[in-house]
Amino acid sequence: MATLCRPAVSVPEHVITLEQTLEVARDLHAANPALPLALRLIRNTGVRKRHLVQPIEEALRHPGFGERNRLHSAGARAMVPGVVRRALANAGLGPADIDLIVYVSCTGFSMPSPTAWLINTMGFAPGTRQLPIAQLGCAAGGAAINRAHDFCTAYPEANALVVSCEFCSLCYQPTDLGVGSLLSNGLFGDAVAAAVVRGSGGTGIRLVRNGSWLVPGTESWISYAVEDTGFHFVLDRRVPRTTGALAPALAELSGELRWDVSDLDFYVVHAGGPRILDDLSLHLGVDGHLFRHSRATLADYGNIASAVVLDALGRLFDEGSGTPGDRGLIAGFGPGITAEMTFGTWSEEPVAHTGTGAPRTGTTRTGAAGRTAPPPSQWRNP
């Protein structure tokens, strides 16, 4: 069975604290009648600091959509390779051992996908499958894990690499002055994360069952308005209420395993904000302490979009509390409104570090140059 290994996470060097965020908001929006409400909401997010790909003075400028997109690509090329190397090392693998790269980002756009650049520059085989995901927003971290799980279920000896690159600060729009926009300006941060899903072996979360759920009639509640100036984030005030609709979906999926979603050992949940975690705790009947890793991500980095689930998962690894057989949930929520859900168990199976793409027992791999893998025509549903 597929195992999600220890993630690697990196954040940019530029930091803005909660107090600095409030000060910037007061300076820029002193005449905005919505400012007092926005300041109160920002204080209540639980975000202590965030990391930005540019200094705050530059982040507040808008040089145009094209220049921002170039900044996104440059930031990705500077930060992603190091995170990928650490994630591969955590899984005991090298680039030539990877059969699929799932690359997610909702904060920049490029074609071809950054997966092509990674394959060309980091030693991945030319036959490595590419799966870029751009439009699932914060849910994409969960979706990436699920698609990697599906692939490794179809090909039990294959391995998949998940990469999340989110520079939310590059989506700042100085002309958006509504409460939702002001709140978003104080909530979102930048981060890059990666993790490997091994088809066999490895220490981490043994993935058992995944699923998706879309809350009907909510597709406009989280969205981008795409304008000449780029992506304008739209957030409906009703979003926090959707946890009441998502909890039954989580319960139904866990019920397929004959598990009780309210009685698991760990929960790794996208922390869009504290209200979501509070309400999910209430609807699932779960002690709020079990969401401590998600809250820690929110406090240290803010909402880092699709990278949240990988960072919160990394904190679970760092805590060292996992015991073989522990059952848990990984879930990401985003536009749609979509939930991407995964259930799994903690597993510890030491593996030898290959690091070079050397053949492993039972694989059809012959190395980067002579790799053989099933053609797309032979793909099957897991």
- Residue 104: CB atoms within 10 Å: 30
Q: Is the domain 205-347 a CATH 3.40.47.10 member?
A: yes
Q: Which pLDDT tens digit goes with each residue over 59-71?
A: 999 999 999 999 9
Of 172-186, 298-312, 357-371, where does mean pLDDT reach its minimum? 357-371
Average pLDDT over residues 153-171: 96
138 is catalytic: yes
pLDDT digits (tens, 9 = 90+) for 288-316: 999 999 999 999 999 999 999 999 999 99
Residue 239: pLDDT band by 50, 70, 90 thresholds?
confident
Q: What per-residue confidence (pLDDT) applies to 321?
A: 87
- Give the mean model confidence (pLDDT) for residues 72-98: 97
What are residue 331's phi and psi, to 5 degrees? Answer: -145, 135
Domain 3-201 classification at class level: alpha beta
pTM of the predicted model, to two decimals? Answer: 0.89
Q: Where are the domains of the chain?
A: 3-201, 205-347
Of the candidates 106, 138, 165, 168, the residue annotated as catalytic is: 138
Q: What is the DSSP string of 147-191?
A: HHHHHHHHSTT-EEEEEEEEEGGGG--TT--SHHHHHHHTTB-EE
Q: What is the mean pLDDT of the chain?
A: 89
pLDDT tens column, 6-44: 999 999 999 999 999 999 999 999 999 999 999 999 999
Burial class (CB in 10 A: 0-12, 13-18, 19+), 381: exposed
Q: Which helix (H) or strand (E) holds 19?
A: helix 18-28
Note whether 3-201 and 205-347 share their fold. yes
